[in-house]
Structure 1
Amino acid sequence: MQIIKGAGEWNPPTGAENDWVENLRVPDLSVGTYCIPVGGVDTQSPHTEDEIYVVTSGRAKIVTPDHTAEIGPGAVIFVPAGEDHRFEDITEDLALLVVFGPAYGSRTQDQ
């Protein structure tokens, strides 16, 4: 057992980039924290792993090719591998607990 301290907590980004921190990594999954400030721009690309976001604080919209939804604290979002997605209209500093299965970046683009 391991307690993952700080996972999902707001941490202001330092510089022009949004803040991504990997808090735990094992072969079958990874857990991290993604923070985007009010008015920030989410520039991520689709991932090769399945992904779950848990909104721990903040408000925004999540946009995929087929759907747009308002999100806030407590929202849980599943994004399948390869699906384009983006957080937009960030009206409150956004902190997300992120779970990747398998671990982030462990699949190649060919899979």
Structure 2
Amino acid sequence: MPDLSVGTYCIPAGGVDTQSPHTEDEIYVVTSGRARIVTPDGEAEVGPGAVIFVPTGEEHRFVDITEDLTLLVVFGPAYGSRATSHA
């Protein structure tokens, strides 16, 4: 099982983030665009250079996307590697 996976996630300006909580920890790096991220602990403005950590299972959503948002996303362990395990 790979320890990490990496990809990009893009949401156009005015778009809707429909993702659900993941079974892996995530790190987002905003490469372009502007929005807010909302989590159970609060919300924050994000823009180029922002680094965001989201722990396994945490609800999170990008909202108020005012400029096309492009994110580099790193999953640990690899995305989907825990999806089939049932505790």
TM-score (norm 1): 0.74
Q: How many residues align?
A: 86
Aligned residue runs from structure 1 range 1-111, under 5 A: 27-108=2-83, 110-111=86-87
More strand by share: 2
SS at match of 2:62: strand
CA-CA distance at 1:94 after TM superposition: 0.2
Gapped runs of 5+ residues in structure 1? Answer: 1-25
Matches of 1:65 and 1:88, distance apart in 2: 14
Matches of 1:71 and 1:107, distance apart in 2: 28
Gapped runs of 5+ residues in structure 2? Answer: none
TM-score (norm 2): 0.94
Runs (4+) of structure 1 moved beyond 3 Å? Answer: none
